[in-house]
Chain A
């Protein structure tokens, strides 16, 4: 009997120890996200991220950044293909990435996130120009500019970030092709929370945007899918715009479907003069000047001004200069079936004036105002509509064939042959001082050919570290800034020149 009690006690103690060992020490046993960020492909038939990373297996280095370290220091050391893992802590810095294929992964432990805190002193949290940038699992707060801004990076994934009061835009890829923005939560942004500006082939999926001036804005961009997002309590929920005066002039081929767009009645707190400062509070979806926008199967409810507004520049309330190169009318807008209830309870501004002329007490579900042609609606009788007299009957019933606008494979870098690279470098850089058979500043190229016959490596060494061999010429400054590829290519090119 006594023995039994002892055994039981021993087993119990062991049990407690074992239990503590296996289940207690959360921090030492965090399951880290898969480094190639493909882990979220569960239960989705067509996972967009897959196409972005086609065939890419992770083989880079992993940098582990803990509280007190700098993320940027890791970026400086990182090479394309590397992963920068950031552990919970507060990081006050602007992370800029002028390299390709760098992944940033926040590690969330015990509900604690890695936080980028700009203290309302720093401008942007992430600023990238490289291709293949992936940023996930960060909490970004108190910046003055943007949470995440991309300038011309293609093939990006921005996901699972939690962005609060990060300034003008939350997530803003610009001049990018083929990008996925999904599973982010954004609030307190004084312009658009998610702003796709001058981009092609972007999917914006499964995000929650609330308490911003604009929830999601697709501007001067093409081939964009906005799906399954929750947009509420913004001034305007989801926008598809052409803004005049930008270098890329069109917006077309946009699908806005399966979103929840409710109660977007927030007071407009956009900066004076900004394009969104003209958005009337209570606007569910706003299409301005964009073409070929399909709006399908959204739940659009309780937006006090109107559920959907389709307008041109003139009536869009933008206080911007005209742009003769920018077509101002929304054309070929297609409204498929949407669930629209209780919109227009408290119209403002021009819509209110319009309401009074119509002796109505409520704003419409759908308003079309201004120019534009070729637009259509599947079942106009379901909604309270104003200005849809020109709309025909939609010739399609759904967009189910469009699963994604992401490309089948990542946008490839431009293919440049060695000879082309050599030619670009020789004429683009070297020709300032060297010509084939005449003396400019440096030695004629045919003289270089004699000295380095069959020895391109010798030229590369000289490029890296010139040693003044001749008194009759000035010393060449090192051209070591050229990439290794360019140095060798230009060396071989120089030796191959005929005239």
Chain B
């Protein structure tokens, strides 16, 4: 009873604050929180492109990498070693990308100013969070594992179940989900418009509009998408091998590559180079954690029983950085993950489920040695040379305090 009263009291206080505190909703010192306010920073947006991009005359950053030397069948960006990538999403201005970087790391985007995009997509953890399933606002436990953001510029489907087809559409999921960042479009716009720094920065990033225009939702989305599409990882040791420098991989790793692309293991049939995903939905029957209900995956958004348990094939670039694995984060390490594929078609499917398992899920009978070599190979897909810097100061004045290696 006492508890209930307390909860009601607490809720009223929150509701009161919500109505009466004018924007910005920057938490003030009397809000219970674990961050502190630092001096308002003076921030100017970067006028050069991030690594991996050349600036053209229209002030757009255009993607550049060694895969532009090649073609791909039907321009789909799937194939072998010297194959072009899928069509890239680029052309954002340096200022939009940099503004997106600030927004990405700024907890002011969440309902209570406690979590940012980077809370679940930490650059130091391969843009994931190291957890089996993500944690949202108010410590909510979410159902699925945070996917990596490396190379999203090339993706055509987003979310594990593939339900969004643009980054702008995708980011509205976590922003407005009650158990993720928990904000609303109204609150988000109001919050950012209430911060002088952001007004200045948005005017820099969107110079075509009138100086005194307010910050619009689509400008927020574009900026975050601009930053996300700048996260490029294409310079791993595997890539050196692919471009023709065969000494880049040792004998064990080459053996792993050959198992990876062999028609026994068949990894490359779905994790197809050069992105190491064919971007399709596949039903592979990977298990849920003990006690969790079966995740219907793509069945729901596509309203299609035959896609029950289907998930988007994830890219394997930087896979060594993004444990634990699978949609449910059920596998701790790469060795366990590759082993899943040789334990028998459908071995982890609950008895009451009838799934349309993908035809490449079969019984390859891989040996322990082969599984080890596969892991050796997967570790050659790591490249974080273009990892962006975490901002030292945020436009909101909030502090990023869960990063240890903050740089300028």
Residues of A within 8 A of B (CB): 76, 94, 96, 98, 123-124, 127, 129-130, 144-146, 149-153, 167-169, 172, 174-177, 198-200, 245-248, 271-275, 319-324, 411, 414, 416, 420-421, 423-429, 431-433, 435-436, 438, 480-483, 486
Contacts and interface: CB of A to CB of B under 8 A. Distances in A.
B385 A432 contact: yes
Contacts of A480: 245
Contact of A421 (B69, B246, B273, B363): B69
Interface string B44-56: 0000110111100
A428 B264 contact: no
Contact of B66 (A153, A247, A429): A429
A428 B64 contact: yes
B306 A151 contact: no
B78 interface: yes
A123 B259 contact: yes
A423 B64 contact: yes
A130 B81 CA distance: 8
Contact of A428 (B66, B304, B359, B362): B66
B240 interface: yes
Contacts of A436: 48
B73 A414 contact: no
| 4 residue pairs, one from A and one from B, having the closest CB atoms | A152-B80, A152-B79, A145-B263, A427-B64
A322 B65 contact: no
B261 A127 contact: yes
Interface in B168-195: none
B82 A424 contact: no
Interface stretch (B4-12, B105-113, B277-285, B393-401): B277-285
Given A169-B263, A247-B278, A428-B52, 16 more contacts: A96-B258, A98-B81, A123-B263, A151-B80, A152-B83, A153-B80, A175-B80, A245-B358, A247-B78, A272-B362, A273-B358, A428-B65, A431-B53, A433-B385, A438-B48, A481-B247
A152 B73 contact: yes
B65 A248 contact: no
Q: Is the interface of A mostly helix, strand, loop or mixed?
A: loop
Interface string B345-388: 10000000000111101110000000000000000000001100
A124 B80 CA distance: 16
A322 B359 contact: no
Contact of B261 (A151, A247, A248): A151
Contacts of B264: 123-124, 144-145, 167-168
Query: What is the interface residue range for chain B against chain A?
Result: 35 or more
Interface string B191-227: 0000000000000000000000000000000000000
Contacts of B246: 76, 98
Nearest to B389: A440
A321 B259 contact: no
Contacts of B385: 432-433
17 contacts: A94-B262, A98-B241, A98-B242, A124-B264, A129-B82, A144-B264, A149-B263, A151-B81, A151-B268, A152-B83, A199-B73, A200-B74, A247-B278, A321-B281, A324-B304, A424-B66, A427-B52
A247 B73 CA distance: 10
Contacts of B272: 247
A274 B345 CA distance: 11
Contact of A424 (B64, B72, B83): B64
B392 interface: no
A414 B71 contact: yes
Nearest to B309: A321
A247 B81 contact: no
Contacts of B69: 414, 416, 421, 424
A130 B83 CA distance: 10
Contacts of B280: 245-247, 323
A421 B49 CA distance: 19
A169 B245 CA distance: 30
Given A145-B264, A427-B52, A321 B306 contact: yes
The winner among A123, A129, A169 for most chain B CB atoms within 10 A is A123
Interface in B246-273: 246-248, 254, 258-259, 261-265, 268, 272-273
Contacts of B76: 247-248
B278 A427 contact: no
Interface string B308-339: 00100000000000000000000000000000
A168 B263 contact: yes
Contacts of A123: 258-259, 262-265
B301 to A, nearest CB: 11
Contacts of B310: 321
A200 B76 CA distance: 13
B234 interface: yes
B235 interface: yes
Nearest to A421: B69
Contact of A272 (B70, B247, B345): B345
B68 interface: yes
Nearest to A76: B246
Contacts of A272: 345, 362
A314 B279 CA distance: 23
A177 B70 CA distance: 14
B359 A425 contact: no
Contacts of B65: 424, 427-429
Contacts of B245: 480-483
Contacts of A199: 73
Nearest to A131: B82
B307 A172 contact: no
B262 A127 contact: yes
Contacts of A427: 49, 51-54, 64-65
B243 interface: yes
A234 B83 CA distance: 35
A167 B263 contact: yes
Nearest to A274: B359
Given A247-B278, A273-B362, A481-B245, A175 B302 contact: no
A146 B243 CA distance: 25
B386 A320 contact: no
B71 to A, nearest CB: 5
B244 interface: yes
B335 to A, nearest CB: 19
B73 A175 contact: yes
Contact of A432 (B235, B258, B279): B235
Contacts of B345: 272-273
Contact of A322 (B78, B262, B268, B307): B307
A146 B268 CA distance: 14
